[in-house]
Amino acid sequence: MANDNAKQTSGKKPLKESNLPGAGFGPHWIWAILLVILFINFFGNSVQERRSYDDFLKLLTAGKISEVVFNDEQIIANVKGSAKALVTYKVQDPDLIPLLKTKGIKFEATPKSTFWSNALFWLLPLFIMIMVFRNASKFQGNKLLSFNKSRAKIYVEKDVKTHFSDVAGVDEAKEELVEVVNFLKSPEKYSRLGGHVPKGVLLVGPPGTGKTLMARAVAGEANVPFFSINGSEFVELFVGMGAARVRDLFEQARSQSPCIIFIDELDALGKARSLANMAGHDEKEQTLNQLLAELDGFDSSTGIILLAATNRPEVLDPALLRAGRFDRQILVDKPDQNGRLQILNIHIKKVKLKSDVDLNVVASMTPGFSGADLANLINEAALIATRRNAESVETNDFVKALERVVAGLERKQRLMNPEEKKRVAFHEMGHATVALSLQTQDKVQKVSIIPRGIGALGYTLQRPLEDRYIMTRDELQHKIATLLSGRVSEEVFCGDLSTAAGDDLVKASNIARAMITQYGMGDTLGLVSEETQSNRFLQMDYPAPQGKSWSDKTEERIDKEIKAILEHCRHVSREVIESNRQFIGICVDILMNKETLDADELADLWSLHGRSFHRNRYLPSLS
């Protein structure tokens, strides 16, 4: 399935909105008026020079003034031999007029400003500003004077080219939405027995699984207009603007029914209200209240279907999810292996594949990938094949693309000294050896000491053999033992420790803590779950901090059990590595020369020199 921001077909045009009045007043007239005003202002001020009244009197006494003009507030005097007129403010001086008569200087007074001259002075700039805003609205699409207008883009059927045939990997979600399409096509079929289709349908799931694509496919299949808007576009600085946009959106939808309204990233608009914010005029709260009112106000029989998408359903307001608003929630989850194969077949249509490429193998190598991830993987493989001037994309190109997506870009220019390079080789072979010996669920596909990404000096690429949805206690301990094995290998072969295992320790500690506090796998705490998973769909490398809800004594018991798990797994790792010294030594020598070992090479070396580890690896009791 394509990603949420799936490519949209070219040529689609939104329905035109009405232009603002006054749009016929061309922009060239505005610029002409502005240039005239600037010309008058610039050249009018350039022939005058403001001076003090004292300077004016000195020039007048010296006989250098030829003519004087009085107005309401100023005195304007022509200075002999100067191109600039002298301007000064009027002062109550009864001796000025007799002095002008004595000097024989011509003087006169201009009439007071009239109402119309003042009105022109103030209204002309305002008129120009209005014209500029109106023309900006027409020619630039900014809608500067239409704050309450919705930014939703309305697409007619001929522009919505997406159909259910473009969607794969989520068959259950597709079946749920087929009913919505059928209702839009023949609503009388559902009203015959008194039933009705839900007003709102909420698509929830991880990022990149195709929620936006599903909504567009519904509009394409139903042959109806498609209103699309992001939840963040309702959020405004001014109180009431977001609520006005919601009203405007639903008014437009009623005029175009039957139709579909799609709100992407609903959590930006519908986040749960909190008692911490007691302000009754909060902009976000008013916008949410208006959306709730609109959901209650429109009748589903009118043919308006509201679709929304989010990857954070846990933060949505409960009032938004109650029956009668968003009645139905549809999970758009990451696809299984068969779904990934279907998605690959959709995206691969424009790529030239070599005849021996088996997409089943590619699908099996990518558990946990979303539709967006698979689209990116195909694009990376095509780019890699292009760089080597190949005629088609080969299986090895997909392997390299997978390494780049998972581990990051190769940094061949980063040079390490032989000692560091050897330490990295022992570290990575520690991971690979324990994974091979314990026969973990994640198959070792490659070991490399070529730096990748931001901070990785080497990597051991492991991918699951199949989709897994639950893990046993033994498997979790195997995973921890594999994470700790890099540090243990350094300790055994190099004699001391380094900073290379920092990220491994964080991941191992998180797994051990989850075993104790979430899954009840400890011996002393029993079945109590002390922590909850903070987020379902937005996976983070490091869990978000949570408030402590247990006593200090319980915390001490948790720490003891976590430490016991880590020490037990460290002991298992050490036994495996000590038992496979010869295998690790041979592989490190090869890595120092060729820098990489693939799955087939590792399997051959393991069959000759490796030793599997068989014993009870459960955590011993702490009682």
Nearest to 38 by CA among 127, 123, 125: 125
pLDDT over 70 (residue 538)? no
**Share of residues in the chain with pLDDT > 90 (%):** 24
Question: Token pair 């973990």 is at which residue?
Answer: 440
Mean pLDDT of 120-146: 59
- Cα separation of 141 and 530, whole Å? 54
Q: What is the pLDDT of residue 121?
A: 64
Three-state SS string across 370-436, please?
CHHHHHHHHHHHHHHHHHCCCCCECHHHHHHHHHHHHHCCECCCCCCCHHHHHHHHHHHHHHHHHHH
The predicted-structure confidence for 288-345, as pLDDT tens digits, reads as follows 888 888 888 766 556 788 899 998 888 888 888 888 888 888 999 889 989 999 999 9
- Cα separation of 74 and 79, whole Å? 16
Question: Token pair 């699951």 is at which residue?
Answer: 464
Mean pLDDT of 474-480: 92
Q: What is the pLDDT of residue 143?
A: 47
What's the start-to-end Cα distance of the chain, in Å?
Answer: 51
- Say if residue 409 is exposed, middle or buried (CB neighbours under 10 Å; 0-12, 13-18, 19+): exposed
Tell me which of 93 and 586 has the higher pLDDT: 586
Nearest to 571 by CA among 509, 495, 492, 459: 492
Q: Which of 285, 428, 530, 561 is catalytic?
A: 428
How many C-beta atoms lie closer than 10 Å to residue 186's C-beta? Answer: 11
Mean pLDDT of 110-127: 65
- Residue 283, token pair as written in the block: 């902009």
Write down the domain spans for the chain: 153-331, 337-407, 418-609
Is the separation of the CB atoms in 49 and 88 below 8 Å? no
Mean pLDDT of 41-60: 73
Q: What is the pLDDT of residue 116?
A: 59
Q: What is the pLDDT of residue 277?
A: 54
Tell me which of 238 and 187 has the higher pLDDT: 187
Nearest to 445 by CA among 594, 587, 597, 591: 597
Q: What is the pLDDT of residue 572?
A: 92
Domain 337-407 = CATH 3.40.190.80:
no
From residue 436, how far is each of 278, 374, 460, 497, 603 by CA, in Å?
58, 28, 12, 23, 9
Strand boundaries in 502-611, DSSP class E: 596-598
Residue 48 backbone phi and psi in degrees, to 5: -125, 150
The hierarchical CATH code for the domain 153-331 is 3.40.50.300
Within 15-112, residue ranges assigned H as helices are 27-46, 53-61, 96-103
This prediction has a pTM of 0.69
Q: What is the pLDDT of residue 539?
A: 59
3-class SS of residue 467: coil
Give the domain 418-609 fold. Answer: Methane Monooxygenase Hydroxylase; Chain G, domain 1 (1.20.58)
Helix, strand, coil: what percent of the chain each, to 5?
50, 15, 40
Q: Is 428 a known active-site residue?
A: yes
Residue 25 backbone phi and psi in degrees, to 5: -75, 105
Phi-psi region of 292 (alpha: psi -120 to 50; beta: other; left: phi over 0): alpha
Q: What is the pLDDT of residue 25?
A: 42
- Residue 456, token pair as written in the block: 């990785």
- Residue 101, token pair as written in the block: 């008569």
Average pLDDT, the chain: 79
